[in-house]
Amino acid sequence: MVDKDTGPLRVACLGAGYFSRFHYDGWRRIAGVELVGSCDLDAARARNTRAPAFDDLATMLRETAPDLLDVIVPPPAQAQAIRTALAAGVRALICQKPFCTSAEEALAVTQEAEAAGALLVIHENFRFQPWYRVIKAQLEAGAIGEVLQITFRLRPGDGQGPDAYLDRQPYFQQMPRFLVHETAVHWIDTFRYLLGAPSAVYADLRQVNPVIAGEDAGYILFDFPTGARALFDGNRLLDHAATNTRCTMGEALVEGTTGTLTLTGDGALHLRHFGTQESACILPPDTSGTFGGDCVFALQSHVVSCLRSGAHPENTARAYLPVIATEFAIYSSASEGRKLDLNQGEFPNGR
């Protein structure tokens, strides 16, 4: 808990790349938060954030004394940034996903933060998208009975041709592990949020666009102890029916014994009761005009609320470690061509 009853919560950010715009915008809109610094190796990018600019993290931390550091840099730079912040006395941090470069590094950093008494949260924002919050509430209310299956079809349509991703995140082309490590990891966490920890996974992954170093399409099947199944069906070359294909990045069905929830590409959610033809819109299309139904702002607001109240945030680094273990199991499953049990042997959910 950070005691900020007498003043604003001071937030500094490390990183000013493509996605950071949503972070800076979110912090500026949270009441009682003061954005005190932006750090990037490219000083011009830091200045473009309109926050006090720095090109050295230690200097920014020393001169701004933030209560919270938002780490918005790729995995190779994350561990050192977190360690530098801990050494400077920062006791609340948010780190973008993917978290660190390996499960071992993620565990080590998590343990170091815990030993320092610091809160470390992973910026996994898809579970904070409004349609998944409403789906969760509907499931808890029993609106569709016993859940038997969730299917998500990822279809952003941004992965075709030799120029795929170059206008937005060009490093996507060089990632040796792409679809799962960069994208499907969102649904590993989201399925855990909706159904709990999976018990087994099976994956069939492939590379479709030859300019991409890693996989860009595939199927991942999750088993759950309740008997439910979740299917992630991803193909970054294909699209879906939406004006903005990045709003939801695809379409979903959540099917239960007494009804079905349908997520469409505009962010709308519909409920159809079993045996009927008509469906009711229970969440209108998204009109936020920002990424993922304003999920970055929602995650940041959740963390700020927890810091002020002393409540436990959802996505702590410790809670996120099983997501990394599951990702590793997915790649192993694809390589070995078999279903892997997550509750035994080398892939325990509690790791």
Q: Is residue 299 part of a domain?
A: no
Task: Please determine, for residue 6, whether its predicted confidence score (pLDDT) is greater than 90.
Answer: no
Q: Is residue 303 part of a domain?
A: no
Task: Please determine, for residue 46, whether its predicted confidence score (pLDDT) is greater than 90.
Answer: yes
The predicted pLDDT at position 348 comes to 41
Distance CA 214, CA 160 (A): 14
Q: List the CATH number of the domain containing 28.
A: 3.40.50.720
Quick: pLDDT tens for 223-232: 999 999 999 9
Residue 189 sits in the same domain as residue 203: yes
Whole-prediction pTM: 0.94
Residue 262 sits in the same domain as residue 163: yes
Residue 175 sits in the same domain as residue 246: yes
The residues pairing with 234 across neighbouring beta strands, listed in sequence order, are: 154, 218
The residues pairing with 147 across neighbouring beta strands, listed in sequence order, are: 256
Q: Which of 95, 123, 151 is the last residue of a domain?
A: 123
Task: Please determine, for residue 178, whether its predicted confidence score (pLDDT) is greater than 50.
Answer: yes
Give the helix ranges, DSSP H, for 38-74: 43-48, 57-64
**Which residue has tokens 């990037």?**
40
Q: What mean pLDDT comes out for the span 275-288? A: 97
Residue 163 sits in the same domain as residue 273: yes
Residue 139 sits in the same domain as residue 107: no
Residue 177 sits in the same domain as residue 283: yes
pLDDT band at residue 168, thresholds of 50, 70 and 90? confident
Q: How many distinct structural domains can be found in the chain?
A: 2
Residue 147 sits in the same domain as residue 273: yes
Q: List the CATH number of the domain containing 253.
A: 3.30.360.10
Task: Please determine, for residue 350, whether its predicted confidence score (pLDDT) is greater than 70.
Answer: no
Q: Which of 77, 95, 123 is the last residue of a domain?
A: 123
Q: Is residue 1 part of a domain?
A: no
Question: What mean pLDDT, rounded, does the chain reach?
Answer: 95
Q: Which amino acid is at 288?
A: S
Q: Is residue 70 part of a domain?
A: yes
Residue 153 sits in the same domain as residue 268: yes
Task: Please determine, for residue 183, whether its predicted confidence score (pLDDT) is greater than 60.
Answer: yes
Q: Which two tokens stand for residue 241?
A: 């029916």
Domain residue limits at 209: 127-291+324-341
Q: Is residue 4 part of a domain?
A: no
Q: What mean pLDDT comes out for the span 168-175? A: 92
Of all residues in the chain, the percent with pLDDT exceeding 70 is: 96
Q: What mean pLDDT comes out for the span 20-34? A: 98
Nearest in space to 37 (alpha carbons), one of 27, 315, 29, 148:
27
Residue 97 sits in the same domain as residue 13: yes
Q: Which of 105, 123, 141 is the last residue of a domain?
A: 123
Task: Please determine, for residue 345, whether its predicted confidence score (pLDDT) is greater than 70.
Answer: no
Residue 219 sits in the same domain as residue 271: yes
Q: Is residue 258 part of a domain?
A: yes
The residue with greater pLDDT, 201 or 351, is 201
Q: Is residue 179 part of a domain?
A: yes
Q: Which two tokens stand for residue 125?
A: 């924002």
Residue 230 sits in the same domain as residue 86: no
Task: Please determine, for residue 5, whether its predicted confidence score (pLDDT) is greater than 80.
Answer: no
Residue 81 sits in the same domain as residue 39: yes
- Angle (nearest 5°) at CA 333 between 331 and 339: 150
Q: Is residue 305 part of a domain?
A: no
